[in-house]
Structure 1
């Protein structure tokens, strides 16, 4: 019996449409001959849509997106400094709104240094860890404001929101992630010596959940120390769980360690399945190279692999990662365009059942 997956595709801006085209081509190739098919709906949202219509995320389109099984997202953002976009804040109005409204409370970012990929570290060792970043709270919740704006006495606040409910569910997801991996190790990262209120709550919740997972080795690290050890000794990490802001910073550092942000995939996960999860490369829209076939689609392709994992198709997700691994190992110094990399990954896909 054929299974149909309803996929919402948001190509977005800049290089987003180019890399998402290749991700979709790889998805079609890896699913070919199987009993799963994709029913895609494309939503033209982003800076270009806003400039044409003034719409960021209309309610009716958000409702339609919610009816899908998953979201494949490209990139969002126009030309930096464009005065027409300065007040629109497309990122918050589209990307963050989807994350918050769809309860994407687990932002999952794997960091793997693939064979053939040069690291900026002299001796990186075996880099293979996952950062689980809380995705719906922290300073990104929008709890703040300004007083006397534009004056010498201006005051600006940005309150970091941490709830026991929100922390517990992302911590539990991180423990379950650690349990599914061979090393079964979890490092929780915060700044408990300074952020004593939120830090204390995180600590108590981690300790409480840890009691339910006695096979998981747990340690703690201040976020500043984590940045040091992530550079000096990345193999020490297996699964990291942290809050929204710290996670944003650490995952970009992890992207650099793993060979560059152009290889960094991510999943904005709603583990409960009440809304579709969203999968996206995190490299941004790169408007300066858009339309020139210069963008590397590998991060988008790997994000599609994460999506298949989430949808219960881990064998197909593994085939995508194996193909990417083989392609990266064989690239050498050759320079290829966006669609050429897509062709190469498709050519490297292992046979079904191999």
Structure 2
């Protein structure tokens, strides 16, 4: 298998370099090919995903991404070279580009108890629509204003001083996510699918969602299905995480719930993720690039190591995936100060924490 490795920005190279020896230690027969992505690509050429990176992704089987720095439009333009500032290109998030161009509609976030084994569930987030579909306006376009101005606050503020975002829900997007969720439940031994929404408030779009969920659920009578208010679901994730199996959510709800799940696990330093579609994929730890921490040796590499386990599982190396997860679990359970980084209460450097996992794999 050929694996594209895109270290990215900030602590991305730190955690990638520390984690990659796991591949050889556990005996995965992968060929690695490196590419560039992220902020430095934007600063030098005005494109955070340069053409040669797309070529790399086209000839490899999947991708391991380190971390990406993104900044608002004004700050982004200020970091362009002078020759590009006259007619600056629009900054488009590399993550969004990868998801859209590769057709990766499902973001998969496993939430596992690495200390007491009391919960094991997954948040699967729709990647392409919802409130993150890009239908975000200020001022409100004239044709949309006819609908928005009925709100008293909008009428008082006027079209120029009103912003509006549309939550896009389509049969195409919902149906493929729900089918993906049921297939994931089957393949991973879960007997419950929970859909996060807000049907008591977002009545029209939630009705579309409910109809599709109920129709597909009829094809899977052996799996329990429920639709819960997202706020209640968030509470139960904290107080009763063991009740969940597969959680499906639209883009923004899933964004929030998956980070909440990382907190339940013990922090973003333990949270891997996969972005999957009908054919392509890429995998990444979910923490940010933390530019101020770059090169300090303090970043936690365990999320990246667990992400390698997700790649292994997805590409039919289940024994190696289990070995990696077991080694990480042992290190996290033991919590020796010299084996875990500061966020887990230890004093280990990024490399030392990764080496602790390597030693467990070798044992």
The TM tier, using the shorter chain, reads 0.7 to 0.9
* Counterpart residue number, 1:129: 121
CA distance in 1, matches of 2:121, 2:292: 31
* Counterpart residue number, 1:102: 102
* Counterpart residue number, 2:68: 76
The alignment partner of 1:349 has SS state of: helix
- Of 232, 242, 245, the match for 2:249: 242
The alignment partner of 1:208 has SS state of: helix
Q: 1:333, CA displacement in angstroms?
A: 3.7
The alignment partner of 2:110 has SS state of: strand
Superposed CA deviations along residues 204-229 of structure 1, whole A, max 9, x for unmatched, are: 11111111111101112100111111
* Counterpart residue number, 1:38: 30
> 2:314 matched to 1:318?
no
- Of 344, 347, 351, the match for 1:339: 351
Larger Rg: 2
The alignment partner of 1:302 has SS state of: helix
Is the 8 Å Cα contact of residues 35 and 56 (structure 2) preserved in structure 1? Answer: no
Is the 8 Å Cα contact of residues 78 and 287 (structure 1) preserved in structure 2? Answer: no
The alignment partner of 1:141 has SS state of: coil
CA distance in 2, matches of 1:38, 1:250: 33
> 2:274 matched to 1:267?
yes
Is the 8 Å Cα contact of residues 78 and 85 (structure 1) preserved in structure 2? Answer: no
> 2:6 matched to 1:10?
yes
CA distance in 1, matches of 2:255, 2:40: 26
- Of 119, 136, 139, the match for 1:147: 139
Is the 8 Å Cα contact of residues 77 and 91 (structure 1) preserved in structure 2? Answer: no
- Of 192, 205, 215, the match for 2:199: 192
Is the 8 Å Cα contact of residues 137 and 165 (structure 2) preserved in structure 1? Answer: yes
* Counterpart residue number, 1:164: 171
- Structure 2 stretches of 5 or more lacking a match? 81-88, 142-157, 339-346
Is the 8 Å Cα contact of residues 77 and 90 (structure 1) preserved in structure 2? Answer: no
Q: 1:278, CA displacement in angstroms?
A: 0.7
CA distance in 1, matches of 2:78, 2:110: 32
Superposed CA deviations along residues 38-84 of structure 1, whole A, max 9, x for unmatched, are: 22221111112212232222345324312211110011116899934
CA distance in 2, matches of 1:156, 1:80: 17
CA distance in 2, matches of 1:80, 1:344: 38
CA distance in 1, matches of 2:104, 2:196: 20
Superposed CA deviations along residues 155-187 of structure 1, whole A, max 9, x for unmatched, are: 323222221111111111111122234441111
Is the 8 Å Cα contact of residues 64 and 282 (structure 2) preserved in structure 1? Answer: yes
The alignment partner of 2:238 has SS state of: helix
CA distance in 1, matches of 2:72, 2:291: 9
- Structure 1 stretches of 5 or more lacking a match? 117-124
**How large is the RMSD of aligned CA atoms in angstroms?**
2.5
**Equivalent runs, 1:250-289 vs 2, <5 Å:** 250-270=257-277, 272-273=278-279, 275=280, 277-289=281-293
> In proportion to residue count, which structure has more strand?
1
* Counterpart residue number, 1:291: 295
CA distance in 2, matches of 1:54, 1:349: 42
Provide closer, same or farther for how the CA distance between residues 90 and 215 of structure 1 changes in structure 2, counting only shifts above 3 A. farther
Structure 1 window deviating more from structure 2 (89-98 vs 289-298): it is 89-98
Q: TM-score, normalised by structure 2?
A: 0.85
Provide closer, same or farther for how the CA distance between residues 148 and 111 of structure 1 changes in structure 2, counting only shifts above 3 A. closer
Q: Which has the higher contact order (CA 8 A, sep 6+)?
A: 1
Q: TM-score, normalised by structure 1?
A: 0.87
